[in-house]
Amino acid sequence: MIGRWSIGDIRVANIVEYFGPTHQPETVFPEFDRAAFSQREDELPPGHWYPHMDRFVIGIQLWVVFAPPNVIVVDTGVGNGKPRSAARMNRLNTLVPAWLEAAGVTPDMVTHVVMTHLHADHVGWNTVLEGDRWVPTFPNARYLMPKRDFEYFRQLSEAGGAAKDPSFTDSVLPIVQAGLADFIDGQAEVADCLRVADAIGHTPGQLNYWIHSQGQSGVFSADIFHHPAQILNPAWNTAFCVLPHEARSTRLRFLDEASRTGALVMPCHFPPPHCGFIRRHGDGFAYEPAT
């Protein structure tokens, strides 16, 4: 499934890997507060929350930026055929390559793959299986990854943390070994059009990427939010946030900036339409899905 958007004269597409009513509130948000949520749950757009199942809808998507002469993929989902501990991610066989082609992108056209962070659901399509080896999916691309995340996940992998989910060894290391990796460490801008912003918390090196064009803004917000419920209740971290205190302050700072700039917020995990805007709402914030 593809969505198409524009920020000034830069075109953007999102490629949906999958989405579904999969996440029980307290499991994904350990600080979930039912009383607080019930006061505002009616504000969630249709199809974002199924109370009779007690499940939030959460998805995974890749973003593509068309900024001639560059074709940039932002985050690369779970990938096909990868052994993963979560059943919904294990050895997928999705149509992401066909949808990319439908969006006008063949693997050889991609000039940059830019990662917000190095969790398994953001690096998967970095590689595909060729024989018994994981090889780069986009052979002509430079793959840009946050240096701090690379060091963090490398240490985790070397300490045996990869035994359960070997995403570092099947999706990150093959890129480094192929000589295609560049590390983001202090650059203000990458791929000629993405302004780099620190978004530490969910992981130790998470980054956001802003696009500014013709007076309009958009931002790849990574996993500052997994679901718009966190826009209504910004104190809730996910169970996957590595640095809880920093994740919370990053979220609050981001909400302020995104609401002030009116930027199109393009996260990795929101349900259809998969992106939207953050608006001021009393002392807090509200979510307005893009149309």
Which positions lie near Zn ion, rule CB under 5 A? 121, 223
Largest CA distance in the chain: 57
Q: What angle do CA 90, 91, 94 make, to 5 degrees?
A: 110
Shortest Cβ distance from residue 119 to Zn ion (Å)? 5
What are the structure tokens assigned to 21, written together? 């009513």
Nearest residue (CB) to Zn ion, 221 versus 259: 221
Please name the amino acid found at residue 86.
Answer: A
- Residue 198 in 3-state DSSP? strand
SS3 content of the chain, % helix, strand, coil (to 5): 30, 35, 40
The position carrying tokens 């939010």 is 225
Shortest Cβ distance from residue 121 to Zn ion (Å)? 4
Nearest residue (CB) to Zn ion, 121 versus 149: 121
Beta bridge partners of 279: 286
Q: How many CB atoms lie within 10 A of CB 133?
A: 10
Nearest residue (CB) to Zn ion, 170 versus 223: 223
Nearest residue (CB) to Zn ion, 116 versus 233: 116
Nearest residue (CB) to Zn ion, 117 versus 142: 117
What are the structure tokens assigned to 267, written together? 């996260």
Shortest Cβ distance from residue 234 to Zn ion (Å)? 18
